[in-house]
């Protein structure tokens, strides 16, 4: 582990990417964690799908006491919806092939809150094939001092820069209502909302370590049944 002065989170992440030697990369913030078995699932997926460059999985939300709040069941990342301002991403469960950096470049160090979303936009623009693992791969802790909770000028600056860089596309503040309705309908049809409700009934308020233990105790599942692709 290195501890040295940097010019912000994005530069620190890039330093890690430059030093990393693996063929598959991701980043995990200090409030994030990968769940048991996640790296094996991701490695198996990329091995079986050599044409896929990027995948996303689901992410648990937990509170400061590491108690489960809910699970974020997402759809496969879709550039058509994203261009109309509709995203459903899960940054701690994003993984991609290192070679993708040759098309996209590294994290934009001018961004300080929405660097993950802007990086995903460049993946869309690169036309890289995107897949999905419909498994819970990570967890993120929510508390009142995270960037997501605090909000503020850094978010507004990043949104303004995205509007400027991409000519008004990918603008989350001006999303298309018809596209949002269609997006919500697809999530409903694919039972994402129902799965979230069932998960909450079973797991909300329980310690993350109990959920992690259930993963370790679970019999080996055939991961291929959880894979999806951007249409």
pLDDT along the chain (231 residues), means of 10: 71 95 94 95 97 97 96 95 95 97 96 96 98 96 69 89 96 94 97 97 97 80 49 37
Decide: residue 125, CB within 10 A, 0-12 exposed, 13-18 middle, 19+ buried.
Answer: middle
What domains sit in the chain, N to C, each tagged with a CATH number? 9-229 (3.90.550.10)
Decide: residue 66, CB within 10 A, 0-12 exposed, 13-18 middle, 19+ buried.
Answer: middle
Are 60 and 208 in contact by the 8 Å Cβ rule? The answer is: yes
Please report where in the chains the tokens 């309908």 appear, as a residue: 185
- pLDDT value at residue 216: 87
Return the H-helix or E-strand segment holding 16.
helix 9-19
From CA 176, how far away is CA 221, in angstroms rounded? 38
**Residue range 3-46, pLDDT digits in tens:** 666 678 999 999 999 999 999 999 999 889 999 999 999 999 99
* pTM greater than the 0.85 cutoff: yes
């Amino acid at each position: 582990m290195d501890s040295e002065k940097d010019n912000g989170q994005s530069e620190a992440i890039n330093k890690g990417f430059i030093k990393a030697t693996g063929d598959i990369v991701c980043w995990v913030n200090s409030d994030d964690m990968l769940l048991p078995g996640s790296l094996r699932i991701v490695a198996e997926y990329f091995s079986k799908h050599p044409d896929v460059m990027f995948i996303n999985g689901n992410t648990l939300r937990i509170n400061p006491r590491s108690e489960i709040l809910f699970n974020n069941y997402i759809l496969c990342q879709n550039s058509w919806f994203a261009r109309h301002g509709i995203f459903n991403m899960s940054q701690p469960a994003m993984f991609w092939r290192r070679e993708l950096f040759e098309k996209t470049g590294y994290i934009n160090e001018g961004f300080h809150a929405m660097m993950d979303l802007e990086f995903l936009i460049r993946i869309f623009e690169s036309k890289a094939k995107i897949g999905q693992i419909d498994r819970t791969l990570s967890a993120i802790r929510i508390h009142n001092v995270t960037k997501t909770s605090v909000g503020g000028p850094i978010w507004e600056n990043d949104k303004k820069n995205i509007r400027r860089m991409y000519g008004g596309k990918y603008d989350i503040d001006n999303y298309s209502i018809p596209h949002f309705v269609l997006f919500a309908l697809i999530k409903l049809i694919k039972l994402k909302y129902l799965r979230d409700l069932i998960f909450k009934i079973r797991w909300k308020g329980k310690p993350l370590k109990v959920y992690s233990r259930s993963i370790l105790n679970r019999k080996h599942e055939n991961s291929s049944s959880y894979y999806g692709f951007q249409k």
